[in-house]
Chains A and B, each alone.
Chain A
Amino acid sequence: MIEVKDLSLQLGEFKIKDFSLTIDMGEFFVLLGPTGSGKTVLLESIAGLKAIQAGNIYINKKEVTGKKPEERNISICYQDLALFPHMRVKDNIKYGLRFRRDTNKLKYEKNFETLIELLRINHILDRYPIFLSGGEKQRVALARALIVDPDILLLDEPLTALDSGIKATIEAELKNLHETLKITILMVTHDFKEAYYLADRVGIIKDGSIMQMGPIEKVFEQPDSIFTANFVGMKNLIKIYELKDKPVFQVLLKHVGETGAEFIGIRPENIVISNKIIDDSCSFLGIISHIRNNGIYREIDIISHGVEFKAYLTANSYNELQLSQGKEVFFGIDASRIAVI
């Protein structure tokens, strides 16, 4: 278990104040935030690579706040991988072993064998990093970080630099590694799709502060701020006062209740489109104002009584419905999944 309590640090203009976080043993926690929100700085301060001004860090209930990075048993993997270019792959992976005080050679040899098998890198052990593809480099970096049995693995945007094809493979391998080895992982990223696939829990970070934290589905479905809602891809953020004077939308407001909220949030994938009337209390008639082709899916903008809604459709559904700009369609909203912000 890792516990960060009231961590504060300042780097020039950038400030992190009273940051707290607890990650359970074996948990995959993702810190999600835009560039410049302090994600990397946080990881480096947890690893002991950046000095903190206040706060405490505990690993398995032992305080490591004042300890040097080499005394914390925390591994870190960066986006740019930082493989040692003057060492072969096997020497890169085994680099950390030469500093282990624990001389259980058999255990580490087994770690080595397990990792090269799990990450399928047996055939590249004698190569230098310059001769590896992006995916292979990522696998080697992961093996190097994990061979030493760290208490926690810190991942700094590990998938960002990869091509989309190999990214999915590495993502799956990362999930498999986590499930097989039961390692505790703290990953930072700006890509909410990565977080959705990998995380047990997420924290949304902005300017060095956690905006919202919780189980992945909860944060994605029920963001508690406009920033979080925008960041996790909640494309429909509608001001409640805009709906109040429109009788057709009263059914939506009934689900919101008198909470004093300002916005309702609807994920675009929670809106269904049909050419026929939808048998649901939360269905409306609208006109398609814009269609955006994103390759894999279509983003459909629908105007209904002056309010714009965005929905996603797969290419298949889009073709079946024969949609076009200006066409009148019915759309239904899953009321149970409306967020109130």
Chain B
Amino acid sequence: MNRKRTESLFIVSFITGTIIMLFCIYPLISTLFWTEPGVIFDTFKDKQVLQSIYLSMGAATITTIVAFILGVPFAYVLARKEFRFKSLVESIVDIPIVIPHPVAGICLLTVISPRSWTGQLMEKAGIEVLGTVAAIVLAMTFVSMPFLINAAKEAFKWVPPRMENISRTLGASHTQTFFLITFSLAWRDILSGMILTWARAISEFGAVIILAYHPMIAPTVIYERFTAYGMMYAVPVAVILIILCLIMFIILRLLAASSREGEIL
């Protein structure tokens, strides 16, 4: 007699899971088969496309580094300290996630536009942001930084404060304890947060287009080709971006996974 039994809730979960998988994967597969491989190959040689992809990847990487440098120390404080208005501060961190991205772009524009006092200050200092790579990074950082801060905050919370206490009593300073214990134990989850931040940054369009239509990032090129020439011209660029992003995403995930196996926890 077969005693194996499947709970009905798991059957429901399996069905909804299959729907979600199809919902995520089918549009991607459909895009990949929309056009001929030869057209994709030709598009790959297109200088404008290549430049936009390089720019997207470069700006997303700079964004991730900036978010890491600024976000990790801040996340540590949020994980370890209780202070007045902490939940307000945490809500502010999450604001870029909840507001529409063109709105985020407009908000940033009010700060860097030459009509604003900050924009005028930058102009006087000879700093040009609008329509430059800096504007792209600014927009990407604004919308993607919460992912890194939240991931790092959760990672730090997972490290028991008592480990830090023991490290301190054994002679390590606060900074030494942070690097030798806290960060050493949290870095894998922070790396996952960095991957998410990078992915969010490279996919950003709404905020970037408000601050810098030129130089064009890959999503801007796709948008421009779609509105000017239609699907046939937009899809090959989209396919290239999908393939490259997936490759990068898989490599980074594998790196994170292999480092996790390398150390035993």
* B168:A78 contact, CB within 8 angstroms: no
Q: A84-B181, A85-B185, A130-B264 are in contact. Are A76 and B169 (CB under 8 A)?
A: yes
* A68:B160 contact, CB within 8 angstroms: no
Instruction: Kindly state whether residue B162 has any CB partner on chain A within 8 Å.
Output: yes
* B185:A86 contact, CB within 8 angstroms: yes
How far is it, in angstroms, between the C-alpha of A102 and the C-alpha of B239 when the chains are bound? 62
B171 CB contact (under 8 Å) in A47, A70, A78, A82: A70
Q: Mark A183-214, 1 if CB is under 8 A from B, else 0.
A: 00000000000000000000000000000000
* B165:A44 contact, CB within 8 angstroms: yes
A38: which B residues are within 8 A, CB to CB?
none
How far is it, in angstroms, between the C-alpha of A148 and the C-alpha of B181 when the chains are bound? 18
Instruction: Kindly state whether residue A49 has any CB partner on chain B within 8 Å.
Output: yes
B176: which A residues are within 8 A, CB to CB?
99
Instruction: Kindly state whether residue B172 has any CB partner on chain A within 8 Å.
Output: yes
How many whole Å from B162's CB to the nearest CB in chain A?
Answer: 4
Instruction: Kindly state whether residue B166 has any CB partner on chain A within 8 Å.
Output: yes
Q: A80-B162, A84-B163 are in contact. Are A70 and B185 (CB under 8 A)?
A: no
How many whole Å from B170's CB to the nearest CB in chain A?
Answer: 3
A77: which B residues are within 8 A, CB to CB?
166
- A-side interface residues, number (CB < 8 Å): 30
Instruction: Kindly state whether residue A95 has any CB partner on chain B within 8 Å.
Output: yes
Q: Mark A35-49, 1 if CB is under 8 A from B, else 0.
A: 000000000100111
Q: Mark A8-51, 1 if CB is under 8 A from B, else 0.
A: 00000000000000000000000000000000000010011100
How far is it, in angstroms, between the C-alpha of A70 and the C-alpha of B177 when the chains are bound? 10
* B168:A70 contact, CB within 8 angstroms: yes
A100 CB contact (under 8 Å) in B168, B171, B173: B171
Instruction: Kindly state whether residue A135 has any CB partner on chain B within 8 Å.
Output: no
A47 CB contact (under 8 Å) in B163, B165, B184: B165
* A49:B169 contact, CB within 8 angstroms: yes
* B162:A82 contact, CB within 8 angstroms: yes
* B185:A74 contact, CB within 8 angstroms: no
Q: A86-B184, A86-B185, A99-B176 are in contact. Are A78 and B166 (CB under 8 A)?
A: yes
* A69:B168 contact, CB within 8 angstroms: yes
How far is it, in angstroms, between the C-alpha of A33 and the C-alpha of B50 when the chains are bound? 70
Instruction: Kindly state whether residue B263 has any CB partner on chain A within 8 Å.
Output: yes
* B169:A86 contact, CB within 8 angstroms: no
How far is it, in angstroms, between the C-alpha of A77 and the C-alpha of B169 when the chains are bound? 10
A76: which B residues are within 8 A, CB to CB?
165-166, 169
How many whole Å from A222's CB to the nearest CB in chain B?
Answer: 36
B-side interface size class: 20 to 34
- Which residue of the partner chain A has the closest CB to B163? A82
- Which residue of the partner chain B has the closest CB to A95? B170
How many whole Å from A161's CB to the nearest CB in chain B?
Answer: 13
B169: which A residues are within 8 A, CB to CB?
47-49, 69-70, 72, 74-76, 150
A96: which B residues are within 8 A, CB to CB?
170-172
* B172:A70 contact, CB within 8 angstroms: yes
A144: which B residues are within 8 A, CB to CB?
166, 170
Q: A86-B184, A86-B185, A86-B263 are in contact. Are A148 and B170 (CB under 8 A)?
A: yes
Instruction: Kindly state whether residue B88 has any CB partner on chain A within 8 Å.
Output: no
* A80:B185 contact, CB within 8 angstroms: no
How far is it, in angstroms, between the C-alpha of A48 and the C-alpha of B166 when the chains are bound? 11
Instruction: Kindly state whether residue A330 has any CB partner on chain B within 8 Å.
Output: no
A69: which B residues are within 8 A, CB to CB?
165, 168-169
Instruction: Kindly state whether residue A249 has any CB partner on chain B within 8 Å.
Output: no
Instruction: Kindly state whether residue A284 has any CB partner on chain B within 8 Å.
Output: no
- Which residue of the partner chain B has the closest CB to A148? B170
- Which residue of the partner chain A has the closest CB to B176? A99
* A82:B160 contact, CB within 8 angstroms: yes
Instruction: Kindly state whether residue B265 has any CB partner on chain A within 8 Å.
Output: yes
How far is it, in angstroms, between the C-alpha of A98 and the C-alpha of B165 when the chains are bound? 16
B265 CB contact (under 8 Å) in A86, A98, A148: A86
How many whole Å from A49's CB to the nearest CB in chain B?
Answer: 5
How many whole Å from A179's CB to the nearest CB in chain B?
Answer: 23
A231: which B residues are within 8 A, CB to CB?
none
How many whole Å from A149's CB to the nearest CB in chain B?
Answer: 11
A/B interface sample: 25 pairs, CB < 8 A = A48-B168, A49-B169, A68-B174, A69-B169, A70-B172, A74-B169, A75-B170, A78-B165, A78-B166, A80-B160, A82-B160, A82-B162, A82-B165, A82-B166, A84-B181, A84-B185, A86-B185, A86-B263, A95-B172, A99-B170, A128-B264, A130-B265, A131-B264, A144-B166, A148-B170
In the complex, the 3 A-B pairs of residues with the closest C-beta atoms, listed nearest first: A99-B171, A96-B170, A69-B168
Q: Given known contacts A69-B169, A82-B165, what 20 new A-B pairs fall within 8 Å (CB)? A: A47-B169, A48-B169, A69-B165, A69-B168, A70-B168, A70-B172, A75-B169, A76-B165, A76-B169, A78-B162, A78-B165, A84-B163, A84-B185, A96-B171, A96-B172, A99-B170, A99-B172, A128-B265, A144-B170, A148-B170
